[in-house]
Structure 1
Amino acid sequence: MLVQIPQIFALATTLLAFSSVVFGNPVSKRSVGKRSIEVRDGVSHTIFEHESTGASIDFVTNSGVCETTPGVNQYSGYFSVGQNMSMWFWFFEARHHPHSAPLALWVNGGPGCSSMIGLFQENGPCTFNGNPNATDPSLNPHSWNEYANMLYVDQPIGTGFSYGTDTVNSTVFAAPFVWTLLQAFFAQFPQYKSRDFGLFTESYGGHYGPEFADYIQQQNDAIDGGDLDAEEINLVALGINNGWYDATIQEREYISFSVNNSHYPLINSTVANAYMANYTKFCLPALKNCTSTTDDTADCQAARLACSTVDNSFAAYYPTNYDYYDITQSDTANFPPDTYGKYLRRPDIVKKIGARANYSSCSDAVGNLFGNFADDMRSFLPTLSRVVQSGISVLIWAGDADSVCDWFGGYASVNAIDYSSSDAFRDTPVENFTVGGVVKGTYKTADNLSWLRVFNSGHEVPAWEPELSLQVFKQTMKGEAISPT
């Protein structure tokens, strides 16, 4: 059963109301609550409790973990986004001009995978990528908080450090909770209201990104129309790398990638032809019946069964000694290293950052809820098209060594986006993309939509190409088409 949206609206409105107690704005009867500092195990937590709803904010200021650049503030802890729903966030101010820098949200995919993956392995202030055997991470000189204030969130509930009752079983269901968290964030940190806001994600973010951005824009419309009393979010950018957008396209293109990618064939042409014939006969017809992102019908479950049956029947033809997330690595390779997971399970680190749950990088329980709804079979290309049509800056990019959400599928998906410059985008040839004069990939743009293929990069592009990633992040956040340097 889908979320009762009015209840989420009510909670967000309540959060805004009780923020008036925190920040000294006029107090209404419904904002009765208390603000306190609680010391737990020698660590100070800022807490606000709202009496009528039980909603709360609980966070630690300047833990000294990860971001150690002098003068750069950080906050980590929990926002309540529903009854018994504590969503983990970790926020880092920009290293330069935080009082005027834009704000960006990073969300990992899965579904059910923690955004601490992005923080520690990809674009956060610290990393183990250079030294996987280190006890503590090193500062990342290409962290995205070099340019923007960065917010990392574990969602849905049950993901990473987030804990409580997990009722989210679909992308559409997840969106209101993320919006509610942002409302609570602006209530606690009002200095970031009205900043340019960007949403960046990867992998299952091909579902999350379009839906979350579209939901934010719907809420903004409701606010503008006087139908909703909440904080408008100034969404200016959406970026998705190695995303899962549309099963109809990407199931097909995975076969093409498997035999025609630029690194080495994973299967031979005979197997690929048989695979494609089975996709066309069994998987494609079932996918054509799965047309809704919300209805809980049997059509999408049937599509998931049909496509997985085809995929599984050909899995034995693939090599067994390669890394799915980077086919240039063996299956025993460890880049980016998973050292951060052990680090986040250290009791001293858990205490310092204010976490209250045992950390896991990905949650099978969350993934199973989405799987039972067959959410992965549902296309979010129409939703992505609406977001591009709205005029915000959109970057679709992919590392070309990833086979999980391969660049063939990403490229075919971006060429299928429907907007005013669709024909121009499809007709535009790709050109070399350079960073400091060095060719790193190929790209093309048309108006507010950009595509980028990154050479020799795996699933988590910022881990392989941190300088390039910071460059395109800055350009997209500025509302510019990406461009070589």
Structure 2
Amino acid sequence: MALGSGNYANRMCLHLLLLLLFSVNVAFSDTLVTSLPGFDGDLPFKLYTGYVNISVGNAEMFYYFIESEGNPIEDPVLLWYSGGPGCSAFNGLIYENGPLAFNLTDFAGGLPKTYYYPYSWTRTASILFVDAPAGTGFSYAGADAFPVTDTKTAEQVYEFLRKWLVEHPDYLLNQLFIGADSYSGISAPIVVKRIIDDNDAGIEPRLNLKGYILGCPRTDTDINENSKIIYSHRMGLVSDELYKAAKESCNGSYSSVTTSQAECYEDLKLIQHCTREINKNHILEPKCTWASPEPYGESVRRALEEDTDGLFLSSSNTSTDYFCHTFSYALSYLWANNQSVRSALNIREGTVQDWKRCNKSISFKSDVSSVIDYHKNLSTKGLQVLIFNGDHDLVIPNIGTQQWIKVLNLTIVNDWHQWLVDGQVAGYTIKYSSNGYRLTYATIKGAGHSPQEYKRRECFDMFDRFIHYYPL
């Protein structure tokens, strides 16, 4: 790491002190990866991979750490993990926030090629991508560690983060943000509260938490399910008459409906029929099906059937107007299960035999239905918060996100307005405040679930402005 900061002497003292305090109990295990199969030349950024052993389930948590391409001494550190539950942080690294992307245009089978993506969040922050919970991606644990729950996921992520920062004390003074998307919107606020609680209790080392970032976050089961019906109507997928009938028969509550509520149940069945063939991740994109398993292979086809609702046609469709967004997901299976790639990433042999982008077979039990109370508690802690949604997402509709934010009863300091990238409307935003707590909510125009997969450049600009305290 380059010198050039007035804090360098302090950092070195802290570094040496923490080494003395924790070196007996913590083993260093990361490796610098300078090149990757399928990438031309050396990597133009610093990538480290490794494992951290945690006591919760005696799990080995795998991570990718990419040092900021800007000023790693001063730039924030962002912990990022994906939703699912069971989706690898590889999603963030190659599809959303990271500096790598698959070359889709020239793929004709074999090992997929990657290239450097310039609008990476690592241009302005160091990002620690972790496969969480155990059983996700390359993270693993013994059979007695399961099932995993929402609260156990939060415990695993928190212990991982604390141990990683102890192993890497150079980053303890950097501003820290917790980031997650989709289903991990449930566990991430629990992680944030745990950090604050331990900081308040004087647990050392103190983590320099500044805020959190959530993309299309699942937050409250009832609000999320209700918002799907409202959103479907607003977007013209459901007629006025059917929506009005359902609203009356269900009394405006569409979750946990049983057959005993006959009229409501029938109305919801009609609504489901209207949206059944809609791609929930992005309502304007096709819901694709398989035409052929070639050139990917039967194992990839089976994995993707578990991975997502909509699959893709063969790669021959990539040059037509009927290109499927999920085509690129198949490449992740080919890439991460390639032995040369695994060797470059220093994956432990015999630990994860069959990597999946989203492991739907993970033994998971939901034990938290709402984290609104966590957000209410955090709204008293003076944090900087960014919440964002794609406006074509039917998995976590923006309507629901706006609804639970209003429940926090924050003061609007910058009302609803458009935000721009290159002079064009990139979405809409509103900013709230409460006793030092700052929450920015933003939509990304034309994006689905998760927004970065569809509008990567715009999402970088959003993140870059937020992380450096510039308004959208």
Same fold by TM-score, threshold 0.5 exceeded? yes
Against the structure 1 CA distance between its residues 437 and 129, is the aligned structure 2 distance closer, same or farther, given a 3 Å change threshold?
farther
Q: Is the 8 A contact 1:87 1:155 kept in 2?
A: yes
User: Does residue 177 of structure 1 match 2:133?
Assistant: no
Match of 1:317 among 264, 267, 273: 273
Residues 467-482 of structure 1 mapped to structure 2, 5 A cutoff? 467-478=457-468, 480=469, 482=471
| Aligned counterparts of 1:235 and 1:164: Cα–Cα separation in 2 | 28
Task: For 2:237, give the aligned amino acid.
Answer: L
Q: Secondary structure at the match of 1:446?
A: strand
Q: Is 1:197–2:176 an aligned residue pair?
A: yes
One-letter amino acid of the structure 1 residue matched with residue 463 of structure 2 = F
Secondary structure of the equivalent of 1:271?
A: helix
Residues in 2 aligned to 1:26 and 1:152: alpha-carbon distance in whole angstroms: 23
Instruction: State how far apart, in whole Å, the 2-side matches of 1:212 and 1:278 are.
Output: 39
1:84-120 deviation line (CA, Å, top 9, x unaligned): 3111100011112222222111111111211111111
SS in 2 for 1:379: coil
Q: Does the 8 Å contact 2:34/2:46 carry over to 1?
A: no
SS at match of 2:340: helix
CA distance in 1, matches of 2:92, 2:195: 22
Which residue number in structure 1 is paired with residue 135 of structure 2? 158
Letter in 1 for 2:347: A
Paired amino acid for 1:154 = D
TM-superposed deviation, 1:80 = 0.3
Classify 1:26/1:346 alpha carbon distance in 2 versus 1 (closer, same or farther; 3 Å): closer
The reply on whether 1:81 has 2:54 as its aligned counterpart is yes
- What is the rounded CA distance, in whole Å, between the counterparts of 1:237 and 1:25 in structure 2? 24
Q: Contact (CA 8 Å) 1:388, 1:394: kept in 2 or not?
A: no
Matches of 2:43 and 2:34 in 1, distance apart?
13
Partner of 1:216: 195
Choose from 226, 231, 239 the match for 1:252: 226
- Does the 8 Å CA contact 1:252/1:276 hold for their aligned counterparts? no
Distance change >3 Å, CA 231–CA 456, structure 1 → 2: same
Distance of 1:70 and 1:330 partners within structure 2: 35
Whether 1:273 and 2:244 are equivalent positions in the alignment is yes
Aligned to 2:412: 424
What per-residue deviation string (whole Å, max 9, x for no partner) do you get for residues 341-385 of structure 1? 32111111011101232311122243x5224x4x3xx11111112
Deviation (angstroms), 1:126? 0.1
Q: Tell me the amino acid that sits aligned with residue 462 of structure 2.
A: V
Deviates more, 1:92-101 or 1:60-69: 60-69
Letter in 2 for 1:136: K
Which range moves more in the overlay, 391-400 or 332-341? Answer: 332-341
TM-score calculated relative to the size of structure 1: 0.75
**Structure 1 runs, 4 residues or longer, greater than 6 Å off:** 22-26, 66-69, 308-312
Secondary structure in 2 matching 1:323: coil
SS at match of 1:434: strand
Are the aligned partners of 2:61 and 2:131 in contact in 1 as well (CA < 8 Å)? Answer: yes
Change in Cα spacing, 1:251 to 1:349, as seen in structure 2 (3 Å) is same
- Per mean C-alpha deviation after superposition, the further-off stretch among 132-141 and 154-163 is 132-141
**Rounded Cα–Cα distance in structure 2 between residues aligned with 1:311 and 1:149:** 49
Instruction: Give 2:346's aligned residue.
Output: 354
- Structure 2 vs 1, CA of residues 57 and 364 (structure 1 numbering), >3 Å: closer, same or farther? farther
Equivalent residues of 2:47, 2:67 under 8 A apart:
yes
Choose from 32, 51, 55 the match for 1:61.
32
Q: Report the alpha carbon displacement of residue 164 of structure 1 after superposing the two structures with TM.
A: 0.9
Is contact 2:73-2:174 (8 Å) kept?
no
CA distance in 2, matches of 1:237, 1:68: 36
Letter paired with 1:324: K
Q: Measure, in 2, the Cα distance between the counterparts of 1:454 and 1:365.
A: 31
Offset of 1:309 from its aligned partner? 7.7
Alpha-carbon distance in 2 for matches of 1:107, 1:468? 20
| Displacement after TM superposition at 1:316 (Å) | 4.2
Identity of aligned residues (%): 22
Conserved in 2, the CA contact under 8 Å of 1:69 and 1:95?
no
Structure 2 SS opposite 1:109: coil
Aligned match of 1:188 in 131, 151, 167?
167
Structure 1 pair 416–108 and aligned structure 2 pair: CA distance change class (3 A)? same
What stretches of structure 2 of length at least 5 have no aligned partner?
1-12, 289-322
1:57 deviates by 4.8
CA RMSD of aligned residues (A): 3.1
| Distance in 1 of aligned mates of 2:193 and 2:223 | 21
Change (3 A) 1:124 1:234: same
C-alpha distance in 2 between matches for 1:129 and 1:329: 21
Q: Which aligned pairs between 1:398-437 and structure 2 lie closer than 5 A?
A: 398-418=389-409, 422-424=410-412, 429-437=415-423
8 Å CA contact 1:111, 1:204 repeated in 2:
yes
Aligned residues: 404
Please, which runs of 5 or more residues in structure 1 have no aligned partner? 1-19, 33-49, 288-301
Does structure 1 residue 453 correspond to structure 2 residue 453? no
Per-residue deviation, residues 219-240 of structure 1 (Å, max 9, x unmatched): 11112xxxx3x32111112111
d(CA) in 2 for partners of 1:143, 1:232? 28
